[in-house]
Amino acid sequence: ITGSSQSAGQLASCRCILSRSRRSFAARPLVHLSSAPGAKFEGREIGSPYPIVPHETSSALRHIASSTLKPWYAADTSISADDSRYEQSEQGGTCGSILSPDQIECAREVGRITREAADHAVSLLREGVTTDIIDESVHNDIVSRGAYPSLLRYRDFPKSMATNINEVVTLGIPDVRPIEAGDVITVVVACFVDGLHCKVCETTVVG
């Protein structure tokens, strides 16, 4: 995909995925869009005559119980996607901090929840299923454990997980396009528990 916001490394990764999965979408006029904040696309996939157009996705945000502890960006619905606190959290957070015994135990718990939620997502990847349906199932799995799906509402991201399919570089929004045999899919699942986040990514080929 061509776009002014992509780095050379991202484009190289994109070309690699394109070459590996060409057989699964070469004849498909609709391709997925990256949802990276600020991404600008010139309108064409590398080497493709087809214009880049988004797939339909459901617009309603998934329900989160009021009792669920939420990260700062989800607790206040008036926060905009360009709030300065996003840059501050992305530059540091708790990286390099020494965790207390309670925080270490929490890190183990959020890591376990996130790993199991990602495993659940991967188990649902099969031909004919939509990523929107998988997102709903993963969302329900995460909130049933008392965790918050970290991606939801992060910089206005509308879903509880991300699905990067074939040529999508990063943070693809789950949609209603049925998965096809040969699709290369990376699922990205992140959870928030008691002030700590964990993210797990896994890539698989369907079929």
Task: Tell me the pLDDT tens digit for each residue of 46-66.
Answer: 444 444 455 666 667 888 988
Which listed CATH number (3.40.50.2000, 3.40.50.40, 3.90.230.10, 3.30.70.20) goes with 104-206? 3.90.230.10
> What whole-number distance in Å separates Cα of residue 61 and Cα of residue 64?
9
Question: Which one of 72-76, 96-100, 108-112, 174-178 scores highest in mean pLDDT?
Answer: 108-112
Q: Choose the weakest-confidence range: 72-81, 107-116, 120-129.
A: 72-81
Answer for the pair 174, 195: CB distance below 8 angstroms, yes or no. Answer: no
Tens-place pLDDT, residues 10-47: 333 333 333 333 333 333 333 444 444 444 444 444 44
Other CB atoms within a 10 A radius of the CB of residue 148 amount to: 24
Could you give the 3-state DSSP secondary structure of residue 119? helix
pLDDT class for 95, splitting at 50, 70, 90? low
For residue 205, which phi and psi values (nearest 5 degrees)?
Answer: -105, 125
**pLDDT greater than 50 at residue 77:** yes
Could you give the 3-state DSSP secondary structure of residue 185? strand
pLDDT class for 163, splitting at 50, 70, 90? very high
DSSP 122-166: HHT--TT-BHHHHHHHHHHHHHHTT-EETTTTGGG--SSSEEEET
Instruction: Give 196's Cβ-side CA count (13 Å radius).
Output: 18
Q: Smallest Cα–Cα separation from 158: which of 56, 30, 90? A: 56
pLDDT score of 14: 36
Tens-place pLDDT, residues 100-111: 999 999 999 999
Answer for the pair 156, 147: CB distance below 8 angstroms, yes or no. Answer: no
Q: Choose the weakest-confidence range: 72-86, 91-105, 192-206.
A: 91-105
